[in-house]
Structure 1
Amino acid sequence: MAPAALAARYGLAVSGARPSLRRYTAEVWRRRHFVSAHATAKLTATYSGSRLGQLWQVMTPLLNAAVYYLIFGLLFGSSRGVPNYIAYLCTGVFVYNFTQTSVLAGTKAIQGNLALVRALHFPRACLPLSITLSQLQQLLFSMAVLTAIVLARGEPLTPRWLLAVPALALQSVFNAGLAMALARLGAKVTDVSQLMPFILRTWMYFSGVFYDPRHLAGHFPHAVSAALEANPTVVYIALMRYALLDSVHRADLPPHLWTLAIGWALAAGIGGYLVFWRGEEEYGRG
């Protein structure tokens, strides 16, 4: 008798078979406390071996901002025509760093936790989700420093600051989707984690982190300029700058900004989740 027929006769099922999408989502939700605990533990362990510990959560983006200010703000003159450039730059660095670290860690979500994946049965989507949550926790910790910088540079506290909450929520969904999609790719092709830093560095140069994106868009045809303005990191950085900086006006922003932010979050969040779910049977094998 064929193995499939024997399995059907005795009610046997494939070990580790991919559940339905509805059941899989329910299992992920049931393990939300594991996701939260794993994210907190990972964040704590990341800097446990250094003398300054958790301070590196803040110092890393600040040091990056200082380097970019010296190179692009002073040497290349990117600060020309940008009011309150230091606050403008720091906001861009902190927001882009959130996406960058989520994507980098996401590519290693499966390969970096193979022992856990092979030892325990749980929805593997918990791993890239916990990574994104860990990076969000780190960003929220760093936001206290960013707030101090913005206020120290003379920006007033206005009701627009409340827009930072939905902006971060949408970016978190976008980051989680991207992390899940790349987690599946990274599980198949381990070299992706080596290539990703170069891709992210190139992406950063087109994201308006240390310059006004309108200055770059003005040198290209309309179609290219529109594509540059629709860049998801440009969108989320622009939203955060508009929320925190009174010197950034609505006219300075790309058109249909909130529509783009919601669209990118839904496309990446739903698409990344489906891509990851379809590979559930593959993780930890081989």
Structure 2
Amino acid sequence: MLMPLDKTWGLVLGASSGIGRACALAMAQQGMNVVGVHFDTAAMEDSVAQLVEEVTSYGVQAHFHNVNAARRTVRQEMVARIAELTDGAGLKIMLHSLAFGTLVRYLPAEKGGSGISQRQLEMTMDVMANSLVYWAQDLTAADLLPPGAKVFAMTSAGAVQHLPSYGAVSAAKCALESHVRQLACELAPRAVAVNALRAGVTLTPALQRIPEHREFSQASARNNPHHRLTRPEDVAEAVVLLSRTSSSWITGNTIGADGAELLAAGNSWARDGS
């Protein structure tokens, strides 16, 4: 049975751009109040202000915070704020869409160069994977994930594919999917669903930081049976659709929101459009 989402609350980690931004808007369109966490420079100030204006234009509350979601003290402060905003009722949706990691090869590309450092590898893993666990722990301890809540984590086909600079992020995505499976089982008695959403290649600021993104994007658009890349709105639609139920029976999965891109990767029929 599909349920309305109006007057509920959604938390978006990584809310200022790309998929996080689209999901915040989709939640608002459904009548959800939105708490957004993002970590940006002053150059993004106008863009975030515009997003807040768009969200509130749907008659909902928007509380956006420019803070580092991977820091323990920030997380604790935000959990307390969410409890205050929701009057203890908690969240309907938590979306983990943090896309901050190193894009350095493991080994030096040339003699005398340097490969990835321990600090870079650990930071990528902590921000893009482990922080999901820490947020789930604190929100659960504060009783802010009630029965029927949905937790989503953004993964990608990069977990099973190779790009020269994507090794650390790929490892983090693998860990993230593992965390999703474990959290799904541990939160099942609370009737909270936890799933990873595997978006197709999407032109976001995070993608455009990858050195190989142009060639990779062109190949992905050719391979996708829809003959285009995934759009942030495609993923946002999936988040809303999967959240309009009180059931926790769809849980522990990595769900493709990619237009069958991964299935068709490398198939000649997908590339030539036949």
The TM-score, its normalising length taken from structure 1, stands at 0.29
Answer 1 or 2: higher relative contact order, Cα 8 Å, separation at least 6: 1
The TM-score, its normalising length taken from structure 2, stands at 0.30
Which structure's residues are more often helix, by fraction?
1
Structure (1 or 2) with the larger CA radius of gyration: 1
